Amino acid sequence: MNNKVLIAITLFLTACNGISQMPEGGITKYADHLYLDDSQAVLENPWKEGSILNSYSLEKTYSHVIVMPNSIARLMVELDLQECIAGVCESEYIMDSTICAMVADGRIADCGNSMYPNIEKIMALKPDAILVNPFEETGYGQLEKMGIPLIECADYMETSPLGRAEWMRFYGRLFGVAGKADILFNSIAEQYLSLKDTAARTSDRPKVMLDTKSGSAWYVAGGTSTISRMISDAGANYAFNDNDRSGSAPLSFETVFEKAQDSDIWLLKNSTASELTYELLESDFRSYSEFKAFKERKIWVCDVYKVPYFEMTSFHPELLLGEFISIFHPEMSFERQFYHEMN
């Protein structure tokens, strides 16, 4: 690909009218880092307030893309866009039956590890664009040198569940299904807000902690993260809601214990094939047994290799919110499909 083509692609994708700061107005209501109108999308840099991560013209739509975030691949199926998916990464972790079937019969290619994708396979697929997850102070390696437009999907850095879900309106416009995406999001928002209002009427607000330590650090979700906001919307108090980060922060066990030892409920994810039990949790790290939620048997587990937690909850926060309300306030009963009580 010659330099003129590369320059044209760069101008098309990253220089919408020379934008240097977030515009005002637009059609989004909940997203903090996304400006959207009928002709363009502007993405705020979530790691540097006031600066632009990228901007995209919406005058062109895509029909043949590599999708690295699995949650977006699943969303595309829901929007009936599966035929636009040329390739995914780490298909062994995808649970959506449509995508799995298309990978199995060769209609969708597995492009390898998302951190180290198969460049030769991607080039052979000749995609219109590659949807990627941006990370702070991290580039895209060989992907940046291929001349293929990169769509930076920073939805996971939003500070509210509905803010993250609203990015589906951007993704829908990339593929020419704006109306369908708007209808889906409006339905989700209506259900979420109704559940939030229900939870707000409860007087009891249990204290909630999350996850376990990894090695020497305990990576704690920030107090402005979507999960922290959802815990609050479900009528509970997150143990680290005074932390001002939207991402996660590595803390020592001692710091976590001091802040969260009296938590009423403990939510954690199990990423192993084995069933997680109180006995196994204590054998992994004896001090876990000193937390109130452990002593009172108030731990709930999500087996992420068995249920589509990461695929579903990013763009369907109303499902997780209803489940949280059921866990935090047992007198209210909503369908649960992600968490179960630990044995």
Q: Identity (one letter) of the amino acid at 54?
A: N
69 secondary structure, DSSP code? S
**Which residue segment(s) compose the domain that 220 sits in?**
203-341
Give how many domains the chain has, as a whole number: 2
CA-to-CA dists, residue 152 to 69, 133, 173, angstroms: 10, 6, 14
> Quick one: pLDDT at residue 95?
95
- Tens-binned pLDDT, residue by residue, of the chain (343 aa): 443 333 334 434 444 445 667 888 899 999 999 999 989 999 999 888 888 999 999 998 999 999 999 999 999 999 999 999 999 999 999 999 999 999 999 999 999 998 889 999 999 999 999 999 888 666 788 888 889 999 999 998 888 999 999 999 999 999 999 999 999 999 999 999 999 999 999 989 999 999 999 999 999 999 988 999 999 999 999 999 998 887 788 999 999 999 999 999 999 999 988 899 999 999 999 999 999 999 999 999 999 999 999 999 999 999 999 999 999 999 998 889 999 999 9
CA–CA distance, 132 with 126 (Å, rounded to integer): 16
CA–CA distance, 280 with 206 (Å, rounded to integer): 25
Q: Identity (one letter) of the amino acid at 301?
A: V
Is residue 96 located within the same domain as residue 151? yes
Regarding beta strands 248-251 and 218-221, do their DSSP bridges make them parallel or antiparallel, or are they unpaired? antiparallel
Residue 137 Ramachandran class (φ > 0 left, ψ -120 to 50 alpha, else beta): left
pTM: 0.90
> Quick one: pLDDT at residue 19?
64
Helix axis angle for 317-328 and 226-233, nearest 10°, is 50
- Helices and strands (DSSP H and E) totals, the chain: 13, 15
Instruction: Please report which helix (H) or strand (E) contains residue 152, including its range.
Output: strand 150-152
Is residue 160 located within the same domain as residue 18? yes
Question: What tokens does 57 get?
Answer: 């013209």
Find all residues with CB under 8 Å of 283, minimum gap 6, and list them: none
Q: Would you give the end-to-end CA distance of the chain in angstroms?
A: 58
Place of tokens 């926060």: 317
Is residue 223 located within the same domain as residue 305? yes
Is residue 181 located within the same domain as residue 208? no
Instruction: Please report which helix (H) or strand (E) contains residue 3, including its range.
Output: helix 3-14
Is residue 92 located within the same domain as residue 213? no
What is the domain-level CATH number for residue 37?
Answer: 3.40.50.1980
Residue 197 lies in a domain: no
Find all residues with CB under 8 Å of 134, minimum gap 6, and list them: 53, 152, 153, 154
Residue 82 lies in a domain: yes
Contact 247/225 with Cβ under 8 angstroms? yes
CA–CA distance, 246 with 240 (Å, rounded to integer): 11
